[in-house]
Amino acid sequence: TTDRIRERQRARDLAGMAAEVSDELLDHFVVTGPRSELADKILERYQGLATRVVSYFGGLDWTNDPSALNAWADVARGVTNP
């Protein structure tokens, strides 16, 4: 997979790079799911392993859509107060 992704990267083929990453592979590195399930999924994955987690894209989401801030606040509350 790595070689195929690098080949696509050299060709500047972003869609091809994305196509090489399966959902199964992606789930190994990130927590995915509907926002309503994220707090539970984060706790399931990291409870006992991490004292803090960061959503790198939460800020981008609510910058582009201010109404998303409340939804991300719900996720944060769900992780803080399971």
Ordered by start, the domain boundaries in the chain are: 1-30, 34-82
Q: Answer whether residue 78 shows pLDDT above 80.
A: yes
- pLDDT tens digits, one per residue of 4-32: 999 999 999 999 999 999 999 999 999 99
Mean pLDDT within 56-66 = 88
Q: How many angstroms from the chain centroid is the CA of residue 42?
A: 10
* 56 vs 2: CA distance, rounded Å: 23
Q: What is the dihedral of CA 29, 62, 37, 16, to 10 degrees?
A: -40
| Residues 6 or more apart in contact with residue 55 via CB below 8 angstroms | 72, 75
